[in-house]
Structures are given as structure tokens and as C-alpha cells.
Amino acid sequence: MSGLGGLNKSPDGVVLGMVQLQLPVVETPEQLAAQTRRIVDMVAKARRNLPTMDLVVFPEYALHGLSMDTNPAIMCRRDGPETAAFAKACRDNAIWGCFSIMELNPGGMPYNVGLIYDDRGEERLYYRKLHPWVPVEPWEPGDLGIPVIDGPNGCRLALIICHDGMFPEMARECAYKGAEIMLRTAGYTAPIRESWRFTNQANAFCNLMVTANVCMCGSDGTFDSMGEGMIVNFDGSIIAHATQGRPDEIITAEVRPDLVREARLGWGVENNLYQLGHRGYVAVKGGARDCPYTYMTDLAAGRYRLPYEDAVKVSDGTSCGFPAPTRLYGETRLEAAE
């Protein structure tokens, strides 16, 4: 299915390039500008590396590194110079690109944002990470849901970020909204290696959806990101997987959204995305269309509560050095409002 890593592209194929970018140190505006130039250079490398490539994907934290620094001097804007450089790189190299920024958010903590530009440099997707990796990450929880777009060669494309992929509801939402390819960008380090692998495969199989996943790679002198570029077919089989952890390697494969569509229409056994909403259709016409899941109805009603909720020991970021928040979700900080 991989077309020899995308070397042999079929008419219906989409060739993906997952960049295991070297983990940077970014503490100043000058370092931010230098890392921006480095990413732009990698876009050009991706195009030279594989003329058939449709989409080049950079991992979460590709621009800012893993410091979790919220210094406004190095936070980005959606229409800032860094994003303008990324858009221009896509246009100059006639390639779609997926990028990561930490976005300034007056009145709250910065957003962890993913952006996709098309081969003309037009923004096509803007996503705020819904599930920051608590208690480690200080980012504001996303508030815009999960967009699904028309991607290269007619595919339906979604993006989630890192810890998002540990919630099966995230991949299900992407698929429910029509995504045939789900990107997952991350900065994960080695302790997460096994859960990264099996969730990437489960997210694909449970939703008849291609998942394309990549982490930062190498060391910044403190953290060691694992790379683990991994492209998984809709049946859960691994198409391409980098297990060597080589920084700046671009993992490539061709995927076939047309076969995803064929499976979703033609499969009976294990067509789980359809069967979730049509339980037992062999026994009852059209299947049961109810919602028998208490956690879903409670969450929708704003009363989600675990049986052991009061005993949970970690419920803020103080264990990782962040002050306990006092602002409720949806409120702005007073200093920003004055």
C-alpha cells in the first residue's frame, strides 16, 4: 500500500511525509526566528526528497521546543511572521504543510495550535489542542472543536495533537465528521512509546481511518523525544514506522482514501463507526439508535463525575511547578481585561 514510500504514486493516492524534527531549544525571539527558518528549509528538503509528496507534517513543538515557556515574547500569532513564513514555504515548494505554534492568548494561557496550509499557501485548517497533556502542559484547553477539511487529492483530513490521541473520542469525532486521514503530531518522549504505538493503531482500526503520526526527535539537553513516525492503514496495519529515532528523518508513504471510503461502505464485520449508532441491526430494523453510555450523556449535560472523583490526587499543575489556577474555563484574566 505504501507505494515504496510514495515513490510510486497511484492516481487516487496521497503521499505523506512525517518529519521527525530535531528537538530545538527556543528561549528568545532570535532563536524563534532561527527555528522558523529551519522549518522552512525542511519544507524545501521534503519537496526535493520526494517530488510525489502531497503533504509534509511537522510535529508538535517543532517551533518552540519542550520548555513549556509561556513568555509572550516568543508566543506566536495566527497571522504573525512565523506563520507567514510557513505559508510562503508551502507556496514556494507547491506542497501542503502542517505546522505547530504556541499562540498568544490575551486573557488566558497560550493555545497549542496546529495549522495546515495548502500548496498555494492558503490556510486550510486551524486547530486548538483540546486536551493539553496535564499536569505537564500549561496551555489553554481548545474551544473550537475538531475541523475536518478537504485535503490534497480530494481526501478528507483532520488534525489532532499528541495527548488528544489518547482519548478514543477524539479519533471517533474526526471519523464521524468524515475524516479519512487523521494526523497526530506530538512531542512525546520515550516513556510513552508503547501507548503511542497501540493508540495509533487502535484509532485507525476502530474508525476505518488512516492515522499518520509523528513526534519530535532527539535531545535538547534535557528531554529526549522519540520520533516514532508512524503511518497506519485503516485496518490497523502499519504501513510505515520509524523505530530508529533518527532526527530530521522524513517518514513517507502513500495512503489511499478511496479504499477508506470503500471499506466504510462495504464492510459488514467490524464497521464499527457505523455500528456504534446502529446496535444489533441483525435483530432490529436499522439497529438501536439510542445512547446507552452514561459517560456520554453525563458529559453532554455538564455533570461528568467519576465514582472516585474526590479521591483523585492530581487535579492541577502544581506537581509540575505551575500555580493552581483560579480562573474558570471561559473567563479572562483580570490583567488582560483591564
Which residues, including other chains, have CB under 8 Å from residue 82's CB and lie 6 or more apart?
32, 36, 63, 76, 101
Q: Collapsing DSSP states into helix, strand and coil, what is residue 49?
A: helix
- Sheet strands (E) in the chain: 14-19, 55-57, 96-103, 111-117, 123-128, 148-150, 156-161, 181-186, 210-215, 217-219, 224-226, 230-232, 238-241, 250-255
Whether 162 is catalytic is yes
Whether 88 is catalytic is no
CA-to-CA distance for 36 and 91, rounded, in angstroms? 16
Q: Which of 76, 129, 140, 249 is catalytic?
A: 129
Tell me how crowded residue 32 is: count the other CB atoms within 10 A of its CB. Answer: 21
CA-to-CA distance for 151 and 58, rounded, in angstroms? 16
Burial class (CB in 10 A: 0-12, 13-18, 19+), 325: middle
Residue 97 · residue 116 · CB < 8 Å:
yes
- The candidate with the shortest Cα–Cα distance to 276, out of 290, 263, 262, 266, is 290
Instruction: Write phi, then psi, for 325 (nearest 5 degrees).
Output: -75, 150
CA-to-CA distance for 287 and 278, rounded, in angstroms? 4
Q: Over the range 104-116, which residues count as b (16 or more CB within 10 Å of their CB) and which as e?
A: bbeebbbbbbbbb
Whether 27 is catalytic is no
Q: Which of 76, 90, 162, 217 is catalytic?
A: 162
Q: Which of 9, 60, 155, 174 is catalytic?
A: 60
- Which residues are designated catalytic? 60, 129, 162
